[in-house]
Structure 1
Amino acid sequence: MAGKASETLSDIERAAVKQRAKELREQAKAGKNREAGLKQIQEAIDKLDGLDKQISTGLRDLVLDVAPELMPRTFYGFVAFANADGKVVVFHQPASKFKTRYGTISFDDPAHLDDGDVWPVSFAVLAWNADIEAKFRELVKAAVS
């Protein structure tokens, strides 16, 4: 059965799974070391170019300002921030990672964005400017409240 699963994954997806396994090993060694997390996300940002780099850098700076209680870490090679339980709250998936038309900023289950019976948790991001930063500033504040 495992052979069949590996046959259905693309090379990019297999690389992402390997990246995640490596991250988990590194995070287990680092524990809740904030500096180790900042180093990991900086290394992830350094691998990016153009808009992907701008968005990841903007998200990093925004979260460190708005929600300093979140722990910086990587998540499948993405810039991400987790809560005290180690669960990812918000992350940036660069367009270049899976060769998509746009990158996304997404919020996982621990984010408190609940709004009735349906609410958005993933946003296509085609620019990083003051208006977009303000929107995500409010979303991150809500996510950790």
Structure 2
Amino acid sequence: MKKTTPNQKRPGKHADGESVVLAKIAEMPGPYRAIGERLHTLIKANSPVLSPKLWYGMPAYARDGKVVCFFRGAKNERYMTFAFTEEANLDQGNLWPTSFALKELTATEEANITDLLKKAVR
């Protein structure tokens, strides 16, 4: 059996990351679960260079192993949080948004998130 070094990607690693992210989303309370499923779909459709993985127990999406964005939503939280890390290419001037409270995911929010995702991975 061929062994991989720590820097080599294991076969099926992306699929495994996706399955653990989907399992984590499935554990979210009802309204957050629906938003989480939609966020997962948006991220995969608009930023195919990102790979799903768990990051500190949250669904996250990484490029070259570095997390670019993530979200969380637990039953004791008043809203979901969708956020970008410093790996996202969103720097503009001295102040730019990195974290968003999300109570509902309408077409307007989807369009805003899609724009930010495209900028984040450019």
TM-score (norm 1): 0.73
Name the structure with the higher helix share: 1
The residue number in structure 2 matching 1:102 is: 79
Deviation at 1:49?
Answer: 2.1
2:111 match: 134
Could you say which residue in structure 1 is the equivalent of 2:43?
Answer: 63
Contact 2:83/2:100, CA 8 A, preserved across alignment: yes
More strand per residue = 2
1:93 is aligned to 2:61: no
Q: Where do 4+ consecutive residues of structure 1 move more than 2 Å? A: 29-32
How far apart in 2 are the matches of 1:117 and 1:106? 18
Residue 74 of structure 1: CA displacement? 1.0
CA distance, structure 2, for counterparts of residue 116 and residue 75 of structure 1: 28
Is 2:19 the partner of 1:39? yes
Distance 1:31 1:52, change over 3 A: farther
Identity value in percent: 35
Per-residue deviation, residues 3-46 of structure 1 (Å, max 9, x unmatched): xxxxxxxxxxxxxxxxxxxxxxxxxx968711001101111011
Q: Which runs of 5+ in 1 are unaligned?
A: 1-28
1:77 is the counterpart of 2:57 = yes
Aligned residues: 115
- The question of whether the paired residues in 1 share the 8 Å contact of 2:28 and 2:74 is answered with no
Gaps of 5+ in 2: 1-8
2:3 maps to none
Say which SS state the counterpart of residue 48 (structure 2) adopts.
coil
Deviation at 1:76, TM superposition (A): 2.0
Q: TM-score, normalised by structure 2?
A: 0.86
Question: Is the CA contact (8 Å cut-off) linking 1:94 and 1:103 kept in structure 2?
Answer: yes
- Asked whether the equivalents of residues 25 and 59 of structure 2 are also in contact (C-alpha less than 8 Å), the reply is yes
Name the structure 1 match of 2:90: 113
Residue type at the aligned position of 1:141? K
SS of the residue corresponding to residue 78 of structure 2 reads coil
